[in-house]
């Protein structure tokens, strides 16, 4: 018994006693477990501009002069040989009008999680300027429900969500190559990207996929249509639930339930771009359904306070702790 106890103590101390570069010598890569770390532990490899599918671009939302454009993502992988690594998919903000995966907060967040054991997919998607394919009924719904100044922006939501879901299906299709465990999927975003992340996580696999046929949009055939995914956790940095509400109304669904992914929300109380009320609305829904959630009200903060910290914990630290608790990951 004494020897067994000593071995238990040694195994507990190993992660703090050995340098990160030797981690793989002591921790088996064959265990059926997703292992992550609180502190940066691994060097990070970055594979840029990987094509995950194609989408149509047009001259306007009248959908004239269609042309195929590639959809790209960057992959951040920790330098280890584990085969059950958890996943984070990140979606940049920019009001569906601008932004890219090269935005510094998303590069920083990608490196943050990859250095701690996650495989991170930081994606681009079609923006308003691309005039992506929109179902006719969706366009009519937006024209009826939205004030004129917001109509084109809200039409851009559909191809953005379609692309984000295509990226998730690509990840599932390539799970073996990247040594990932698709039981542990986190999707996160900031601002418009957070609206998308909530939409990707809480809608069903057919939503933002089957509203167009392959005859209407042949590029759908490039997006691994047969792959399915289930998001376990959503990271919502100053976003909202509008993309879920749209499907609830547009397709007469009720997508809010106790089975929704666990939800981490951080939102500035003085946000003048995306009202803090958006965070409270999601909190109310989660309290009603009983699904797991946490809301960090960033007192006095405006829109996009990526440098926020609480008791020495960055937003990344807070999000990481929430993920490992909700997904019951092994963390060291």
Tell me the per-residue pLDDT of 235-262, one tens digit each, with 9 for 90 and over: 999 999 999 999 999 999 999 999 999 9
Stretch 102-117: mean pLDDT: 99
pLDDT for res 194: 99
Pairing of the two strands 330-331 and 67-78: unpaired
Q: Which whole number is the average pLDDT over 284-310?
A: 99
* Whether residue 14 has pLDDT greater than 60: no
pLDDT tens, position by position, 59-71: 999 999 999 999 9
Is the predicted pLDDT of residue 180 greater than 80, yes or no? yes
- At residue 33 the predicted structure's pLDDT band, cuts being 50, 70 and 90, is low
- Residue 27 tokens read as 């921790």
| Per-residue pLDDT at 142 | 87
- pTM summary value: 0.90
CB count within 10 Å of CB 82 equals 24
Q: Quick check: 149 pLDDT over 60?
A: yes
Q: Stretch 213-231: mean pLDDT, rounded?
A: 98
147 CB contacts (<8 Å, ≥6 apart)? none
For residue 30, pLDDT beyond 70: no
- Is the per-residue pLDDT at 287 higher than 70? yes
Q: What angle do CA 10, 15, 20 make, to 5 degrees?
A: 140
84, HSE (Cβ side, Cα atoms, 13 Å): 13
Please, which residues bridge with residue 35 across strands? Answer: 330
Q: Token pair of 190, please?
A: 């900031």
> How far is residue 209's CA from residue 223's CA, in Å, rounded to a whole number?
10
The whole-number pLDDT of residue 31 equals 57
Bridge-based pairing state of the strands 119-123 and 309-310: unpaired
Quickly state the pLDDT bin for 90 (edges 50, 70, 90).
very high
- Please state the domain extents for the chain: 44-327
DSSP 3-state of 58:
coil
Span 295-303, mean pLDDT? 99
CA distance 231 to 253: 19
What's the pLDDT score for residue 145? 75
**CATH value of 44-327 in 3.40.50.300, 3.40.140.10, 3.20.20.100, 3.40.50.1820:** 3.40.50.1820
DSSP state of 218: G
- Measured CA to CA, the distance from residue 126 to residue 130 in angstroms comes to 6
% of residues, the chain, pLDDT over 70? 90
């Amino acid at each position: 018994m004494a020897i067994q106890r000593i071995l238990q103590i040694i195994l507990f101390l190993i992660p703090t006693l050995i340098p990160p570069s030797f981690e793989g010598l002591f921790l088996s890569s064959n265990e059926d477990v997703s292992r992550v770390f609180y502190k940066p532990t691994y060097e990070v490899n970055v594979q840029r501009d990987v094509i995950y599918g194609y989408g149509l671009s047009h001259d306007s939302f009248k959908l004239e002069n269609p042309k195929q454009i590639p959809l790209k993502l960057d992959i951040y992988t920790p330098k280890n040989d584990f085969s059950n690594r958890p996943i984070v998919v990140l979606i940049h903000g920019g009001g569906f009008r601008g932004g890219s995966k090269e935005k510094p907060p998303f590069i920083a967040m990608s490196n943050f999680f990859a250095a701690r054991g996650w495989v991170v997919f930081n994606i681009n998607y079609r923006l308003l300027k691309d005039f992506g394919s929109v179902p006719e009924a969706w366009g009519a719904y937006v024209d009826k429900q939205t004030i004129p100044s917001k109509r084109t922006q809200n039409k851009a939501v559909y191809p953005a969500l379609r692309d984000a879901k295509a990226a998730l299906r690509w990840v599932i299709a390539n799970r073996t190559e990247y040594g990932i465990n698709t039981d542990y999927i986190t999707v996160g975003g900031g601002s418009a990207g957070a609206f998308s992340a909530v939409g990707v996580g809480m809608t069903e696999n057919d939503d933002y996929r089957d509203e167009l046929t392959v005859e209407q949009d042949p590029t759908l055939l490039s997006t691994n249509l047969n792959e399915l995914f289930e998001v376990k956790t959503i990271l919502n940095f100053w976003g909202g639930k509008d993309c879920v509400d749209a499907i609830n109304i547009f397709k007469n669904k009720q997508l809010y339930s106790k089975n929704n992914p666990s939800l981490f929300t951080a939102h500035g109380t003085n946000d003048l771009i995306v009202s803090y009320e958006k965070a409270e609305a999601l909190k109310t829904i989660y309290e009603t359904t009983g699904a797991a959630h946490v809301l960090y009200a960033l007192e006095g903060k405006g829109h996009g306070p990526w440098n926020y910290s609480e008791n020495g914990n960055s937003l990344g630290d807070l999000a990481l702790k929430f993920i490992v608790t909700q997904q019951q990951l092994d963390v060291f």
